[in-house]
Amino acid sequence: MKPFGCILLLFLFVCLISLSSCENDIKVVNDFNVKDTLPVESAKNVEMIYSDSGKIQFKLTSPQLNRYKTEDPYDEFPKGLTIIAYDSLMRVKTSLRANYAITWNSRKLMEARNDVVIISKDEIINTEHIVWDQRRRVIFSDVFVKRTNKDGVMYGDGFDADETFNKYSIRNPRGTFSVQQ
């Protein structure tokens, strides 16, 4: 046999052996089948108005909104958001600002994170994470919270509030504040 023929025969033999020994690892196959993680919708400079019986309840603004249609669909606000709640006379009642937020649509939960600021009446609440449970109609936080008002500054390990923020309590309160006798 000529040297070229031997090399060709050896090459074909190596190819045949390598092809017959191929086996697809199920994990590798599944990794290729991972669903796309891109949003199905994306919008910039978003403004949403929420109303009830023709009266504006609150307005949400955000530099960016990404909507994901997964098994557990969600909307993400990767550049933060601002929510302004109004009373019946269209006066600002409460405002919330955060650098990141996510809304889990089917669970009716919204989480706001990273420099969360809530302004209600004459009070300012600062924290790093809050959750709004729309089903239970409550807002809460399990992390450090700071409340500032005309009476002083109070710190705590979280808070619980109704969704209108009319009533709330700070967990493990401490700080300096005035108490009327």
Beta bridge partners of 68: 74
pTM check: above 0.85: no
pLDDT digits (tens, 9 = 90+) for 61-109: 999 999 999 989 999 999 999 999 888 888 898 899 999 999 999 999 9
Candidates 3.40.47.10, 3.40.50.720, 3.40.640.10, 2.60.450.10; CATH matching 37-174: 2.60.450.10
The answer on pLDDT for 31 being more than 80 is no
Kindly list the domain boundaries of the chain, sorted by start residue: 37-174
Q: Average model confidence (pLDDT) for the chain? A: 84
Mean pLDDT computed over 114-141: 93
Q: What pLDDT is attached to residue 3?
A: 57
Nearest Cα neighbor of 143 from 126, 162, 124, 167 is 126
The Cα 59–Cα 105 span in angstroms is 18
Q: β-pairing, 74-77 with 92-98?
A: unpaired
Q: How confident is the model at residue 120 (pLDDT cuts 50, 70, 90)?
A: confident
Q: What pLDDT is attached to residue 64?
A: 97
